[in-house]
Structure formats: C-alpha cells, structure tokens
A and B are shown apart, each in its own frame.
Chain A
Amino acid sequence: MKLIKLFFTILITLVLSFIIIKPITAQENDVTIHFFWARGCPHCAKEEVFLQKLTEKYHSLTIKDYEVTSSQENALLLKRIGKELNADVSGVPFTVIGKNYVAGYYDDATTGKEIEEKVSCAIREGCIDLISNLKQKPDIEAEEPTSIIPSSLNVPIFGSITTQNLSLPAFTFVIALLDGFNPCAMWVLLFLISLLLGMHNRLKMFILGFSFIFASALVYFLFLSAWLNIFLFLGFIAWIRIAIGFVALGVGGLNIKEYLANKSGGCKVTGDKKRRKIFERLKGITQNKQFIVALFGIILLAFAVNLVELVCSAGLPAVYTKVLTMSKLPTWQYYLYLIFYILIFMLDDLIIFITAMVTLQAVGIQSKYSRFSHLVGGILMFIIGILLLFKPELLMFG
C-alpha cells in the first residue's frame, strides 16, 4: 500500500512538474543581439565582455557582431537600422535586440542592465528580428553608387586594377603633394641652399643638404604617426569625426583664402628676428671646420625648425590620418602609407635641392603651382569635410 502511495506521489509530482515547467520552456524564445562595434573603441570592448557573460546566462541568446570601421557593408547596415528605428547611429557601440536598441555603453550596472532587461523581455515574449529581415531586403540606396564606379578598371600595361585598392594610394598622393607645397619650412631650406652654394666641397654640400631634408622628413613622419595613433586609440567616436570634419572645412577655407589673397606670389616679410637667428645658426653650422659637428648641428636645427613650423601645417596631416584610420589596415600598412606620404611631401624640397646642387644656382618653384595647389587643396578639403560630417562611409577605402 505504501509502495502504491509512493508511486502515485512520484507520478503526480512528475505530471505537475510537466504542467508547471513546460509552459515556461515553451515561452523561452531564441533571441539574437546585433552588436555594432569599432576597433579601438574602449566602450565597445567593455560591452563585448558583458555580452559574453550574458550568453552564458541565457542559453537561447546569440550574439552577432558587426565591425563598422573595416566593413562598408556593416556601416551601411547600421545606417539602414538607424533609419528604420529612427535612431542616431553616429556612434558605437550600438546594440539592437529585436525592435529595441541601446546606444552606447557605460557599465554593467546601467547600460548593461538595460540590455539584460530587453533581452529577458525578448526571451519571454519573443520579438521580430529586425536586422535579419532588413538584411534580406535589398538596399536600393546603397546599390546605386556601385553602378557609377566600376569595381575594376582595365589600364594598358598594368592590366586590371581594383578601384578600391587604387583609391587610398591616389588619395595619399594628392594630399601629400598638396601638403608639400605648403611653404612653411621651405624658406629654411632655401637659406641652407644659399649657404651650401658658398662651400667648395660638393660631397659635403650633398651630405649636409640631404641630412637636413632627411631630418625634416623624420620629424614630419613622427608627427603623422602621432596623429595616426591618436585616431587609432580613439577609434570610431562620432564627435572626433565631426571635429575633424570641421577642421577639414577650416583648412579648405584657409587654402581658398591663400589662393585668392596671394596673387602676386611674393614672400611676406614677417618674423624678422626669428629668421635672422636661424640664419646666423645655419651660417655657424655650415662654416664649422669639423664636419661631424656641422652634420649633427644641421640635424638638430632641422628638428627644431620643423617642430616649430608644424603648427602651420597641422590641418592636412590630421585630416589625412583620420581618413586613413577609417580603412581597416594591418598596422605595418598604415606606416607604409605614412612613408609614401612623406616621400611625396618632400618631393618639391628634393627637386629644389638637387637642381641647386647640380646647377650650383638656387632655384625657386613658380608660385602659380603653389597657388593651384591651394585651390585644389581647398576644394578637396571642403569635400572631405562634408563627407566626414555627412557621408563618412564614402571615405572608408578598401
């Protein structure tokens, strides 16, 4: 009798547990979190750790992540979601759970809690996976540009060239060439040439001149690297992009102003004391009988002069490195682009120096070229500024 009682007790318990538990498991819906993030973004990294913990807690939860700085496709998807949800998607992290979203991430207790609440609600009640539905629908707007720009070009001799691979080197070339025409540090080189021409040893002339140019290039490389690392560290932060967009517009305005103002192509007579000081130092260095002292002197002076003159050309390198970081590249490629930039940047200095050393006469570059570069540079900076502000995805090369 006791055995029958025990049997029924177990049976009732089992039946009851099925009645009670089954409906709960039936309501547990599969939920997908769509996590938009960017490389180098500290808040994204924080959220990633939190989401990982969340998947361990909720087994019906799946995370799909989208890196937006390296993939134009992901950036466009984020933009479409923004439109669909009527949300501001100018920054990451951006998290979508069904039709709900969470912009940004502060910490587990605040934003994390908000995400978890949305997740548990979606698990209980189920939700439409908005992004999966969006991905199935073709984006008419996004498809339009591809019909205008072909993905590859057939060039004689070189054969087929992928346009996306071409755009970043071409962009680097144009910006570096424009930056090179910036006459900030040119006057020091002309000073040096005038002094070197008075020397009788051509080998020493070449060594001193090249050392000056090489040291100047090194300073500029370090300067560009600093900008690059700042932007890589800050990552995909919307206000940085907007600020650089305004810098680009400002640089554009200054270039156009320079184009319109200096029609005569002359040299403004300013900074008399500074010029005299540098001239005296250069004179002392080049006339030093000990060549090694002269060599070190010229390198140090190149560092000092270029560091001071950097202020004058801060805009272009900042805009260029910002655009560069928007293309996902291996680190060594970033630096390769910087070296390429420097080579193009120093081109006019090298031409002036080599011509002067060969002909033994100082030569200048006609101002019409620098005026033209100001005009082209100004227009280009305006376009980049507008793109950075309104269509940054168009500047994500590759």
Chain B
Amino acid sequence: MKVLKIGAVWCNGCLVMRPRWQEIEKENPWLETQYFDFDKDKEIVERYKIESGVLPVFIFLDKNGNEFLRLNGEVEKATLIKTILENKEK
C-alpha cells in the first residue's frame, strides 16, 4: 500500500496535517508515502483530478497502483492509523 499526499504551502489544513503524518510515518516505518505540491506537481494534480475540491488530499493506492480510497481535509490521526492498518495487506 502507498499513500500520496497532495498539499500546498498556503493551505492551513495541509500544515496541520504535516506533523500528524510525520508521527504516523515514524511509528509505521514500512508505510510508503509520497508528498506532492499542488502548485508544482501539476501532472499528479491532473492525473488524480484535484483541480477543484479541498486540500489536503490523501490518496491510498494498492500494490498495483490503483486508487482504493481518498480522504480530504484535516483527518484525525486515529482515523488515519485505523485506515492504514485495515488496508495494510492491499
């Protein structure tokens, strides 16, 4: 499983989520995550259709790279951990 994190430097919610993800990544070193900037990484923004909506966006991909879940905005750490552990084998 892999998580794509899409945020922006001007987005307050993205800044709130940054330390939460840092903690999760530290506690789960096996977890693969990748950060993309909304203003710089336009290819990813277009591919995942994030031109409109709410930032930050967290896209959960399975082993084959297919999206199976998408979360938006400020998500509680407990919710993220629960989601990650439930889908660990995907």
| A188 and B11 alpha carbons, distance in the complex (Å) | 10
Per the bound structure, the CA–CA distance linking A186 and B8 in Å amounts to 13
Note all chain B residues with C-beta closer than 8 A to A263.
Answer: 73
Complex interface bits, B11-53 against A, C-beta within 8 A gives 1, otherwise 0 = 1111110100000000000000000001100000000001111
Interface assignment of B85: CB less than 8 Å from any CB of chain A: no
> How long is the Cα–Cα vector from A351 to B15 in the complex, in angstroms?
14
Q: Is the CB of B10 within 8 A of A190?
A: yes
Cβ of B10 and Cβ of A366 under 8 Å apart? Answer: no
- How far in angstroms is the closest Cβ of chain A from B41? 14
Q: How far is the CB of A257 from chain B (nearest CB, A)?
A: 16
Are B50 and A269 in touch, CB under 8 angstroms?
Answer: yes
Partner of B56, one of A194, A266, A276, A362: A266
- Main secondary structure, interface of B, reads loop
* B residues in contact with A362, CB < 8 Å: 9, 15, 18
Contacts known (A264-B54, A266-B56, A269-B52); A364 close to B16, Cβ less than 8 A = yes
Residue of B nearest to A371 (CB): B74
Once bound together, how far apart are the Cα atoms of A367 and B75, in whole Å?
11
Closest approach, in angstroms, between the C-beta of A316 and any C-beta of chain B? 19
Q: Are B15 and A269 in contact (CB under 8 A)?
A: no
Query: In the complex the two chains form, is B15's CB within 8 Å of A190's CB?
Result: yes
Most buried by A among B8, B13, B73: B13
Assess A190 versus B12: contact at CB under 8 Å? Given A264-B54, A269-B38.
Answer: yes
| B13 surroundings in chain A (CB, below 8 A) | 264-267, 364, 367
Q: Mark A359-386, 1 if CB is under 8 A from B, else 0.
A: 0001111110000000000000000000
Chain A residue with Cβ nearest B74: A265
- A50 close to chain B: CB less than 8 A: no
> When chains A and B are docked, how far (Å) is the Cα of A264 from the Cα of B73?
5
Q: Which residue of B lies closest to A267 (CB)?
A: B11
The residue of chain B having its C-beta at the shortest distance from the C-beta of A190 within the complex is: B10
Binding site for B on A (CB under 8 A): 183, 186-188, 190-191, 194, 262-270, 272, 275-276, 279, 362-367
Give 19 A-B contacts (CB < 8 Å), ordered by A residue.
A187-B11, A187-B12, A262-B73, A264-B54, A264-B75, A266-B11, A266-B55, A267-B11, A267-B13, A267-B14, A269-B50, A269-B53, A269-B54, A272-B51, A275-B39, A364-B11, A364-B16, A364-B18, A365-B12
